[in-house]
Amino acid sequence: MAFLEVDGLSYIFPGAQPVEALRDISFDAKENEFISVIGPSGCGKSTLLRLISDLLPVSTGQVRIGGEPSRAARRKREIGFVFQEPALMPWRTAGKNVRLPLEVLGRRRGGTSTPLQLLDLVGLKDFADKRPDQLSGGMRQRVSIARALTYDPRLLLMDEPFGALDQITRDDMNSELLKVWEQKKSTVVFVTHSISEAIYLSDRVVVMTPRPGRITEIIGVPLPRPRDSEMKRESEFFEIETKVLRALDARSVHG
C-alpha cells in the first residue's frame, strides 16, 4: 500500500496573468521509499513539494499521506521540510537552531531524539555550540536536516538541499543523507537537478517536463543498498543514467 499518494495534482499561480505550474501529476511512494524528482528549471518541482506539504493550496487533485489529507499530516507534524537554503537563525547556536521547532510548536508529539542526538546523527555533535557563521555550508545544511527531523517526520521533503555546495561536499552529504535515512526510516521526496545524485540516492526517479510540469517517466533504480561512491562507476549505474537522460530529452514530446 502507498504511504504517499499524489493523484491528478495541478496548480495555477493566480494573478492578472495566471501561470500553470503543474498539470495532472500522479505518483505514489511506499513507506521508507526514497523518491527523487528531476526536471528543468521552472518545471514546478519546488511547487510540487509545497503542495504535498500543504504550504500551497491544491488547484485540482489530491494529496494523501498515510491515508489522510496532507493538511492532517501537517497538523500532526508528520512532514519535515528541508529547503534549498538552511535558513538558520544567525544568533542561535546549532543546538538552539535544532531546538527551535520545539520552542515554537511545543514539545507535544515531539520526536524520540533530543536536539543533541539529532546533531550527533548528522555528525555535528561537537559543533552544537557553534553559530551558523562558524560552520561551513555543508555543516549548516546538516543542521537544517537535523531540525527537520525534530518530530520524527514520516515524510521528509527536500528541495535541492545540496545544490549550492561544491561537488566534493555534495558527494559527502549524499552519503551522510543515506545514513540518516536508513536510520530514521522516513519516506523521502528529494528535488534535484543532478542525474547522478538522483540515481545514487533513490529507489525511483520521477522525470518532469518543462512548465506546465508533468511526469514524462518514472524510472526504477534497482541498485543494491547500502550504496557507496564506487557504484557510480559501474555499468548498471550508467545504464540508468542513460534512461533518465532519454526521458529528459523526450520531455519536449509532451509539450
The string of DSSP codes covering 83-140 is -SS----TTS-HHHHHHHHHHHH-STT--SS-HHHHHHHTT-GGGTT--GGGS-HHHH
What integer pLDDT is reported at residue 109 of this predicted model? 55
Closest CA relative to residue 191, chosen from 183, 175, 202: 202
| Distance (Å, whole) CA 210 – CA 35 | 19
What integer pLDDT is reported at residue 3 of this predicted model? 95
What integer pLDDT is reported at residue 255 of this predicted model? 44
Statement: residue 251 has pLDDT above 70: no
What integer pLDDT is reported at residue 39 of this predicted model? 94
Contact 4, 171 (CB under 8 A): no
Q: Is 115 part of any domain? A: yes
| pLDDT tens track for 211-236 | 999 999 999 999 999 999 899 999 99
37 and 146 co-located in one domain: no
21 and 140 co-located in one domain: no
What integer pLDDT is reported at residue 102 of this predicted model? 84
To 5 degrees, how large is the angle CA 143–CA 147–CA 153?
A: 135
What integer pLDDT is reported at residue 125 of this predicted model? 92
112 and 176 co-located in one domain: no
What integer pLDDT is reported at residue 15 of this predicted model? 83
Under the banding of pLDDT at 50, 70 and 90, the label for residue 253 is very low
Looking at the 3D structure of the chain, how many domains does it have? Answer: 2
244 and 170 co-located in one domain: yes
For position 48, which CATH number holds?
Answer: 3.40.50.300
Statement: residue 107 has pLDDT above 70: no
163 and 114 co-located in one domain: no
pLDDT > 70: what percent of the chain? 95
Q: What is the mean pLDDT of the chain?
A: 91
Between 123 and 251, name the one with better pLDDT: 123
148 and 162 co-located in one domain: no
Q: Tell me which residue has cell 530514521.
A: 184
| pLDDT tens track for 42-73 | 899 999 999 999 999 888 999 999 999 999 99
Under the banding of pLDDT at 50, 70 and 90, the label for residue 163 is confident
pLDDT > 90: what percent of the chain? 77
Range of the domain at 235: 4-78+158-254
Q: What is the pTM of this model?
A: 0.93
Closest CA relative to residue 98, chosen from 118, 124, 121: 118
Between 190 and 76, name the one with better pLDDT: 190
164 and 233 co-located in one domain: yes
Q: Beta strands of the chain (E only): which ranges?
A: 4-13, 19-29, 34-38, 60-65, 68-69, 79-82, 155-159, 187-192, 204-208, 215-220
147 and 166 co-located in one domain: no
Task: Tell me if the bond preceding 222 is cis, omega within 30° of 0.
Answer: no
Look at residues 133, 152, 171 and tell me which one is the last residue of a structural domain: 152
Q: Is 206 part of any domain? A: yes
Contact 118, 149 (CB under 8 A): yes
Q: In what order do the strands lie in the sheet with 155-159?
A: 79-82, 155-159, 187-192, 34-38, 204-208, 215-220
Look at residues 134, 152, 170 and tell me which one is the last residue of a structural domain: 152
207 and 171 co-located in one domain: yes
Segment 90-101 shows an average pLDDT of 94
